[in-house]
């Protein structure tokens, strides 16, 4: 049922009407609402390019061969990652806005300055350690890819013709939430808390994984790609649940709380424009419903 090749891990290799020209897709009111996001993203990319030149601490002038070689390396890395930045902008911007508060908190508590942080992020040794860390591979790569494939790409095509797209968004995450109850077995086995606290934690985990599952199901239907949900899943696994209590006790509590509230507000405001289906060409689930005679909802337009 699922054809996992092609651009962005297409769900189904079904044919449909020709996509609208890109210029027509970008003329809608929805994308216009997030032009400032595009401008800020371009500014960030420009700052990354220039900032990479200054990652290397050196007293030598810019025309020295050693400085030129190091800067060659920096700009080549940034240039190579730029297409990935475009992909991340398209798929992750909404979720990063939602996590504005936690991201501010993370940056405030980070012991590194910008230059040291870039060095760590771009260091091959750091990535090599990540790729040999089984927990990192599980949380950032294997779990997001396999869970989104099973619980979104495979379940939604089976549920949607039966329930419709809207109900499927809220039904599919229930399977995803219940699947996380298996952690209770291990926690009871290794006595990682009282029975009551373990089941309370499991109920809380079910709640937020179900909400997250509804978001990624919505994202999958609106974009027609699996790569967006996978990236969002990996990002959320890295960030964890927002530490709201720690933010309330933080020395810079006021700007953090503003960041939290602003992030939630902007996320809700930009959720529809940033997932405008016309930006993502064909929508396999909507085409599937058309073929089965079911009515596609406003989620497809």
- Pairwise pLDDT comparison (209 vs 42), residue with the higher score: 209
- How far apart (Å, rounded) are the C-alpha atoms in residues 158 and 174? 15
Q: pLDDT grade, residue 159 (50/70/90)?
A: confident
- Average confidence (pLDDT) over 14-25: 40
Report domain extents, the chain: 33-105+135-300
The CA-based angle 135-181-203, given to 5 degrees, is 110
Under a CB-based contact definition with an 8 Å cutoff, are residues 98 and 239 in contact? Answer: no
Active site residues: 147, 180
- Supply the pTM of this predicted model: 0.71
Res 197 pLDDT > 70: yes
Average pLDDT across the chain, whole number: 79
Mean pLDDT along residues 250-279: 91
The set of residues, in sequence order, having a beta carbon less than 8 Å from that of 89 and lying 6+ positions away, is 37, 38, 41
Handedness of CA 215, 221, 227, 228 (dihedral sign): negative
Rg (CA), the chain: 22
Confidence of residue 68 (pLDDT cuts 50, 70, 90): confident
Q: What is the DSSP letter of 111?
A: S
Report d(CA 85, CA 108) in Å as an integer.
Answer: 23
């Amino acid at each position: 049922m699922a054809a996992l090749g092609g651009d962005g891990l297409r769900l189904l290799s079904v044919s449909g009407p020709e996509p609208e020209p890109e210029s027509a897709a970008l003329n809608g009111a929805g994308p216009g609402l997030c032009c400032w996001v595009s401008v800020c993203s371009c500014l960030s990319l420009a700052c990354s390019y220039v900032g990479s030149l200054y990652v290397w601490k050196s007293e030598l002038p810019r025309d020295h061969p050693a400085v030129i070689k190091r800067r060659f390396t920096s700009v080549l890395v940034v240039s190579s990652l730029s297409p990935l930045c475009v992909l991340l902008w398209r798929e992750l911007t909404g979720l990063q806005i939602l996590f504005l508060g936690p991201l501010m908190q993370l940056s405030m508590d980070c012991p590194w300055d910008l230059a040291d942080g870039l060095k760590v992020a771009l260091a091959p040794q750091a990535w090599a350690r990540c790729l040999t860390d089984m927990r990192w591979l599980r949380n950032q790569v294997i779990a997001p890819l396999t869970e989104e494939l099973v619980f979104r790409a495979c379940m939604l095509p089976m549920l949607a013709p039966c329930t419709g797209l809207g109900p499927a968004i809220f039904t599919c995450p229930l399977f995803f939430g219940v699947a996380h109850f298996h952690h209770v077995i291990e926690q009871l086995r290794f006595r990682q808390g009282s029975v009551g606290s373990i089941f309370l934690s499991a109920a809380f985990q079910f709640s937020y994984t179900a909400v997250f599952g509804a978001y990624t199901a919505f994202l999958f239907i609106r974009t027609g790609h699996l790569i967006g949900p996978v990236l969002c899943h990996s990002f959320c696994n890295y960030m964890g649940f927002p530490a709201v209590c720690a933010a309330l006790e933080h020395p810079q509590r006021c700007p953090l709380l503003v960041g939290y509230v602003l992030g939630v507000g902007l996320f809700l405001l930009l959720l529809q424009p940033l997932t405008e289906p016309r930006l993502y060409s064909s929508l396999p689930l909507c085409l599937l419903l058309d073929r089965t005679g079911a009515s596609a909802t406003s989620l497809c337009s």
